[in-house]
Amino acid sequence: MRVLITGGAGFIGSHLSDAYLARGDEVFVLDDLSTGSIDNIHHLKGNPRFHYTIESVHHRAAVAELVDQCDVVFHLAAAVGVKLIVESPVRTIETNVHGTEVVLAQANKKKKKVLIASTSEVYGLSNQVPFREDGNLVMGATTKGRWSYACSKAIDEFLALAYWREKKLPTVVVRLFNTVGPRQTGQYGMVIPTFVKQALTGRPITVYGDGTQSRCFAYVGDVVRALIALMDHEGAVGQVFNIGSTEEVTMRALAGRVKALTGSRSEIVFVPYAEAYEEGFEDMPRRVPDVSKISALVGFCPSVPLDDILTRVIAYFRGDVLPSD
């Protein structure tokens, strides 16, 4: 199979590239290196079944040419990280909405199956935890920059589902919950790489708010297996799936675990949201997926518990050699 991965030099995209190449498939990556990095795909450069194009998903001709050459498309290119989203809302909205329009329109011309990466962020302020795919999405006010990400991704979902209903383009939508593993940088605000780097360098571990907010962290290898299983399954077409772990942890407890596992002397400090992001910032108090839909279809079951994920991320930042996924 020939697989196009937009955002393939990103954290999840590069692991997806690894997995397809390991299966014997051919991988084409399109990435503008805005948040992705050439370092993530450096190890793949000598592989004759690996190809990459440094270009934006907004470039219609580049997307068209790559879609032509491939059998299926993973659209992962997007603005990522709450920090980046709050700081660059124009870029977030344009990248997420326009990029997806281009990819779907080009894929539709050749009727190539497309998997669109959406986000758990679309559940917004919903308190129907755990979140089910058919639950309500509850957005905050448009004056709060954070919600532009959720809204732009919700538009992507509507568009992908509309292409299936109206034009019979096979599309699959996934809502990725917090995903972690080697190659994820703390640069765009993600909490685990941030805490691990702080702990390893003896700097204060910065818990935002009062630290009672919780998340569930899935290992990137588990997430990649789920993406491939959904792409392979005919029954996934026209559907939305949560992908994530159900092991819930508060940020306060997470900071403590990172400190213990690194043996760090870092102090754990609490930083007000207004200072960490912007005045009036609204966080999601809990974010837990209901994964019964994907489990029923493809037997998805996260295999790496949080302590093991943390151990692998710590090893990565220490520069240790990691066991393969």
- Cβ proximity to ligand UDP, 60 vs 203, nearer residue: 203
Q: How many CA atoms lie within 13 A of 10 on its CB side?
A: 26
Provide the 10 A C-beta neighbour count for residue 283. 15
Q: What does 259-306 look like in DSSP terms, one character per residue?
A: HHHHT--PPEEEE-HHHHS-TT----S---B--HHHHHHH-------H
Contacts of 59 (CB under 8 A, 6+ apart): 102
Site for ligand UDP in 167-186 (CB under 6 A): 178
* DSSP structure class, residue 145: T
* One-letter amino acid of 219: Y
Kindly state the tokens that stand for 107.
């894929």
Which one of 104, 150, 190, 226 is in contact with ligand UDP (CB under 6 A)? 190
Shortest distance, position 257 Cβ to ligand UDP, whole Å:
13
Which one of 207, 226, 230, 304 is in contact with ligand UDP (CB under 6 A)? 207
Contacts of 90 (CB under 8 A, 6+ apart): none
| Residue 208 lies near ligand UDP (rule: CB under 6 A) | yes
Which one of 15, 75, 183, 215 is in contact with ligand UDP (CB under 6 A)? 215
- Cβ proximity to ligand UDP, 25 vs 283, nearer residue: 283
Which range of residues in 32-40, 55-63, 206-214, 307-315 is near ligand UDP by CB under 6 A?
Answer: 206-214
* DSSP structure class, residue 138: B
- Cβ proximity to ligand UDP, 116 vs 176, nearer residue: 176
By CB under 6 A, the count of residues binding ligand UDP is 14
Q: From residue 115, how far is each of 48, 118, 128, 193, 230 by CA, in Å?
A: 25, 9, 26, 27, 9
| Residue 96 lies near ligand UDP (rule: CB under 6 A) | no
Kindly state the tokens that stand for 16.
């997806």
Shortest distance, position 175 Cβ to ligand UDP, whole Å:
12
Site for ligand UDP in 244-263 (CB under 6 A): 251
273 in active site: no
| Residue 152 lies near ligand UDP (rule: CB under 6 A) | no
Q: What does 7-60 look like in DSSP terms, one character per residue?
A: TTTSHHHHHHHHHHHHHT-EEEEEE--SSS-GGGTGGGTT-TTEEEEE--TT-H
Shortest distance, position 83 Cβ to ligand UDP, whole Å:
7
Site for ligand UDP in 59-88 (CB under 6 A): 82
Q: Which of 149, 163, 208, 219 is an active site residue?
A: 149
Residues in touch with ligand UDP (CB under 6 A)? 82, 178, 189-191, 194, 206-208, 213, 215, 251, 283, 287
> Active-site residues: which are they?
149
